[in-house]
Amino acid sequence: MPLGPSEIPGESLTAPVIFVGTASPAELVHIDVRGKVAVQHVTPQAHTVFERTSTVQHARDLFRRGAVAVVNVIDQPGNGRARDFANCGGPCFNLGGRDGVFLEGVMDRAAEAGSLGELRMTISLETERRFGLRGANSVAIIPGSRSDESIVLNAHVDGWFDAAGDNADGLAVLMAIARHFARPENQPQRTLVFVASAGHHSPGLNGPRNFVAMNPQVAQNSALVLNIEHVAQRGLSPARSVAGDGYREYVTDSGEAPIVAGITNRSSFLEGLIRQGIERYGTNFVSGGSSMASGEGGGYRSLGVPIVTFMQAPPLYHTSGEVVEMISTPGLERMARFLVFFIAEVDRAPRERIEGG
């Protein structure tokens, strides 16, 4: 998987290959990477977002030391393609688990035979830049019985690969919530504003900041923003058995990967609702509280109201493994039921409780 904005002049290069381990400074002091394709090994502890800083910094360091390309061998299932670790300072590529085992095996055999110095890699890459792409937000409103305040609910609709977990599951839950509150018997007091936002993965196309700028009256009335982002992907862990070639298979759990509940103002009322959600609906929230509003939630900061973000960090995030089979159907239901409860409680609460400690 080539990582943007990789480009190879002449669209092809051939160079010696060198294995650099995790490419830490202590390792690189022993290794001369000049004029070579450097192969670094990445073992994600959960999803690759947690490895971004070290992997990209190490790749940049490799280019500074003279490498002509960097290959990241990522311990992931099969030969899935992974999108993370872009902007690494030169032509960078991710290699999936099985091909990674093969490549590292070839380097080991060549080293044992004393011929590692003769090993070459040829990389071909055609690139194209596209301009004028468009993405649109979709907005739907369920009027409340009082019109002076609203709750904004957001799920981003763009994604990489099949995007089942980032963020088709979040969009599915958003639509289930809309269906529930659209029934006359479930009419909320505060107006519900549903935003299916675009441009999350390609900044500049559209998204929450544009929604706020283009709908000032609707946005300024909000009492709370809720961002639903990756909420029902199943957990994944390495299997115990290791194949003869060293490749480790993976197994999925029946339940969901852990979910972080970020509450920007750490309101005790809102955090209490999270704890009740675990007890009532079995939602797999992590135990530690958080004030994060990463992802799409951060686009609403200008409103100055509490932002609540529900977000998973599953291992297949941003990979071609994000297929529908990785989504937990009971997990979708757990999250939809919990959020209907959460929104109904927030809707009944006075502003001071939502904002208070």
Q: Do residues 65 and 34 make contact, with C-beta atoms less than 8 angstroms apart?
A: yes
Among positions 229, 256, 322, 347, the unique one binding Zn ion when judged by CB under 5 A = 229
Q: For the CB of residue 49, give the shortest distance to Zn ion in the complex, in Å.
A: 10
Does an H or E element contain 40, and which?
strand 37-42
Binding range to Zn ion, per CB under 5 A, among 86-94, 228-236, 250-258, 332-340: 228-236
- In this structure, which amino acid lies at residue 218? V
* Paired sense of beta strands 307-312 and 69-74, if any: unpaired
Q: For the CB of residue 44, give the shortest distance to Zn ion in the complex, in Å.
A: 17
Q: For the CB of residue 167, give the shortest distance to Zn ion in the complex, in Å.
A: 5
What is the per-residue DSSP string for 281-325? H---B-SS-B---TGGGGGGGGG-S-EEEEEE--TTTTBTT--GG
Alpha-carbon distances of 206 from 81, 266, 302, rounded to whole Å: 26, 29, 16
* Eight-state DSSP code of residue 258: P
Q: For the CB of residue 98, give the shortest distance to Zn ion in the complex, in Å.
A: 27
Which CB atom, from 251 or from 286, has the smaller least distance to Zn ion? Answer: 286
Which CB atom, from 61 or from 166, has the smaller least distance to Zn ion? Answer: 166
Residue closest to Zn ion, measured at CB:
166
Which CB atom, from 47 or from 58, has the smaller least distance to Zn ion? Answer: 47
**Which residues, other chains included, contact 96 with Cβ-Cβ below 8 Å and sequence gap of 6+?**
74, 76, 77, 78, 79, 80, 81, 82
Q: Per CB under 5 A, does 169 bind Zn ion?
A: no
Q: For the CB of residue 22, give the shortest distance to Zn ion in the complex, in Å.
A: 27
Q: For the CB of residue 223, give the shortest distance to Zn ion in the complex, in Å.
A: 24
Which CB atom, from 229 or from 322, has the smaller least distance to Zn ion? Answer: 229
Q: Per CB under 5 A, does 347 bind Zn ion?
A: no
Helix axes 329-348, 268-281, angle to 10 degrees: 140
Which CB atom, from 167 or from 320, has the smaller least distance to Zn ion? Answer: 167
Q: Which of residues 137-166 bind Zn ion (CB under 5 A)?
A: 166
* Eight-state DSSP code of residue 257: P
Q: Per CB under 5 A, does 233 bind Zn ion?
A: no
Q: Per CB under 5 A, does 167 bind Zn ion?
A: yes
Binding range to Zn ion, per CB under 5 A, among 225-233, 297-305, 330-338, 339-347: 225-233
Q: Do residues 170 and 156 make contact, with C-beta atoms less than 8 angstroms apart?
A: yes
Binding site for Zn ion (CB under 5 A): 166-167, 229
